[in-house]
Amino acid sequence: MDIARLLNDTQLSKVSKISREVDKEYGDTGSCVMGYKLKIRDVYVIDQVWQGSIPNDIFYKRVKEYLLTETDAYNQPFTENDFTTVYGRMD
């Protein structure tokens, strides 16, 4: 399964908008991390956007909150158990 089977174009646009909002609000702050990723249903869908941990945490949280109000391409609702944050390592 890939991201195209999980998220539609409207959802991908909203995720991009969330990214821009977080960047504007927080910039690249926090401890430097490498390998931060968000998995949805065991598919890596969003790689680390910033080096800092703070905006990545906030971004992934907001994306998750948004997608919990949505359904996937097969009209199945997303649930809390669908999301896994891979924290990577501190540099």
* Gap between the Cα atoms of 28 and 50, Å rounded: 6
Question: Which tens digit of pLDDT belongs to each residue from 10-31?
Answer: 999 999 999 999 999 999 988 8
Write the secondary structure of 46-59 as one string of H (helix), E (strand) and C (coil).
Answer: EECCCCEHHHHHHH
Residue 1 pLDDT > 70: no
Report the predicted TM-score, pTM, of the whole model to 2 decimal places: 0.87
Q: In terms of Cα–Cα distance, which of 23, 2, 12, 26 is closest to 63?
A: 12
**pLDDT value at residue 68:** 97
Other Cβ atoms less than 10 A from the Cβ of 5: the count is 12
Residue 63 pLDDT > 70: yes
Residue 5 pLDDT > 80: no
Residue type, 15: V
Across the chain, mean pLDDT equals 88
